[in-house]
Amino acid sequence: MKKKKIVFLTGTRADFGKLKPLIKQVDKHPGFESYLFVTGMHTLIKYGNTVDEVYKCFDDKRLEGGFRNIFVFRNQMYGEPMEHILANTIQGLSRFVADLNPDMIVIHGDRVEAMAGAIVGSLRNILVAHVEGGEVSGTIDELIRHSTSKMSQIHFVSNETAEKRLLQLGETQNSIFNIGSPDIDLMLSTDIPAIDEVKKHYKINYKSYGIVIFHPITTDLQGTEHYAKELVKSILALIDHNFVVIYPNNDEGSNLIFREYKKLEGHPHITILPSMRVEAFMSLLKNCDFLLGNSSAGVIEAPVYGVKTINITKRQHNRYKSKCIFSCEGLSGDIISLVKQIQSIPNFKPDFSYGKGDSAKRFMACLEGDPIWKISTQKQFVDL
C-alpha cells in the first residue's frame, strides 16, 4: 500500500518538544512518511538558531548532508509583525504542500504558524490535526488556538476539559482524541541528560537555581513592560538566589522584555540563555528550585516533576491549576515574598493531569486505524 505522507509543522522550541515524540513514532512506521516544515523562531539567530536542534534529532536519518524530509522556511525577520509572519508562513507552506501533496498536516497549539497550517490545509482540502486544542491560553494566543481548532478536522487534546471545550465550539465527538500532552513522553523517558552534563554545557555554575521564563502579554504591551520591570527588579533583589533566565518567545512585545533583561547581564548569580535543547531544558526543570514567569511550562510540565511554579500576570489565566502553582499579579514585592515563602515547601507529588507519558502510543493507535482517515474535510457545526 502507498505510504501516507504526514507533515509536521514546527515554529518554536516549545512546539517541537511537543511534536518530537509523535514525529519519531511516525518516522519509524512502515505505513507512513514523515516530513518536517521548520520555520518561525527556529530560523532566528537571536533565539539560538534552533533549526540545528531539529537536525540533530534526526542524525540517524541523514542522507548525503541532510535529512531529506526536513524543509526549512524562514518566515520572518526579528521584530516583524505577527500578521506578516502569518501571511509569510501561509505562502511558504502552501507552495511546499502543493509539491508534496500530503495526506495530513499536524500542527500544535496557539502560534501563528499553527494557524497558517490550518488555513493552508483547510483551503487545500488536506486533513489538519491540531495537537492541544481546547486549552485556554490568555492574550491573543487563545483567539489563535480556538480559530485554529475551527479550521482543523482532527483534534488531539491533552485532557477531558479541553475535549469539552471543543464540543462546546461545535466540534464532533468522533474527531476528538484525548492523548495527553506529548512532551510528557519525553519528560518520563530515559532521554533526559544528567543535570551535571546540562550545567557544564550551558555554563551554569551553581548548585541551586530558579528558572525564569516570561513571555509578552500581546493584548497588553504596556502591562508587558511594567511587569518585565517588576520581574527584573525582584530578581536583582533576590541576591541570595541564582537564576537561569531563558529568552521569551518572539511575540510582539518581546523587545520590551529584552530591554529590561539588559539590567541582568553580567551578574554572577544570573545566567541568560537564548534557548535550550528540549531534553536539556527538561533536566534543568526537573532539578530546579522553582519556575518563575508566565510560561505554559509552569502549568503543564512543572507539575509532572512536582516543581513549584510562581505564575505571574494573567497570561495563563483560567488554565488548570496544580497544587504546586502559586500565583500573584507580578509586582516585585509579591514575587520576592513568594520566592521566600516557597523555599520551605518541599516539592509536590507528580501531577499527571495532562497525561502519563503514552501520548505517542495513543497517537499512533489513531493513525493506524481506519476511522481517523474517514473523517471528512467538510466540517459541520454540532449544536449543543
Instruction: Give DSSP secondary structure letters for 156-213.
Output: EESSHHHHHHHHHTT--GGGEEE---THHHHHTSTTPPPHHHHHHHHT---SS-EEEE
Q: Distances in Å between the alpha carbon of 364 and those of 7, 54, 121, 189?
A: 15, 21, 21, 18
CATH code, residues 4-187+356-374: 3.40.50.2000
Q: How many other C-beta atoms lie within 10 A of the C-beta of residue 142?
A: 17
User: Is the pLDDT assigned to residue 308 strictly greater than 50?
Assistant: yes
4-187+356-374 with 195-342: one CATH topology?
yes
Q: How many other C-beta atoms lie within 10 A of the C-beta of residue 125?
A: 8
Query: What strands, in cross-sheet order, belong to the sheet with 104-108?
Result: 70-72, 32-38, 4-10, 104-108, 127-131, 154-157, 176-178
Beta bridge partners of 9: 37
pLDDT at 62: 43
pLDDT at 66: 43
Which whole number is the average pLDDT over 114-137?
96
pLDDT in tens, 233-244: 999 999 999 999
SS3 299: coil
d(CA 235, CA 211): 11
At 214, phi and psi to the nearest 5? -125, 120
pLDDT at 64: 46
pLDDT at 65: 45
Start-to-end CA span in the chain (Å)? 40
Q: Which of 163, 195, 189, 165 is nearest to 176 (CA)?
A: 163
d(CA 314, CA 139): 8
pLDDT at 121: 98
Query: What dihedral angle (degrees, nearest 10) is formed by the CA atoms of 340, 345, 347, 353?
Result: -100
pLDDT in tens, 255-299: 999 999 999 999 999 999 999 999 999 999 999 999 999 999 999
**pLDDT grade for 218, boundaries at 50, 70 and 90:** confident
Beta bridge partners of 70: 36
Amino acid at residue number 27: D
pLDDT at 59: 59
pLDDT in tens, 67-81: 568 999 999 998 899
User: Is the pLDDT assigned to residue 95 strictly greater than 60?
Assistant: yes
User: Any idea what the Cα angle at residue 329 is, between residues 327 and 333, rounded to 5°?
Assistant: 95
d(CA 161, CA 32): 31
Q: Which of 331, 329, 324 is nearest to 345 (CA)?
A: 324
Name 189's Cβ contacts closer than 8 Å, sequence gap at least 6.
357
Q: Where are the domains of the chain?
A: 4-187+356-374, 195-342
Query: What dihedral angle (degrees, nearest 10) is formed by the CA atoms of 62, 66, 72, 74?
Result: 140
Long-range pairs for 246-249: beta carbons < 8 A, 24 or more residues apart: 246/211, 246/212, 246/213, 246/272, 246/273, 246/274, 246/275, 246/276, 246/281, 247/46, 247/47, 247/272, 247/273, 247/274, 247/275, 248/213, 248/214, 248/215, 248/216, 249/12, 249/14, 249/41, 249/215, 249/216
Which whole number is the average pLDDT over 7-35?
94
- Sort strands 32-38 and 70-72 into parallel, antiparallel or unpaired: parallel
Q: Which CATH class is domain 195-342?
A: alpha beta
Nine cell digits for residue 167 = 464540543
Q: Given the C-alpha cell 499553527, which residue does it identify?
A: 114
Tell how far CA 282 is from the center of its chain.
13
SS3 71: strand
Contact 256, 225 (CB under 8 A): yes
pLDDT at 68: 63
Nine cell digits for residue 219 = 493584548
User: Is the pLDDT assigned to residue 137 strictly greater than 80?
Assistant: no
Nine cell digits for residue 288 = 530546579
Percent of the residues in the chain that have a pLDDT greater than 70, as a whole number: 97
pLDDT in tens, 141-196: 899 999 999 999 999 999 999 999 999 999 999 999 999 999 999 999 999 999 99
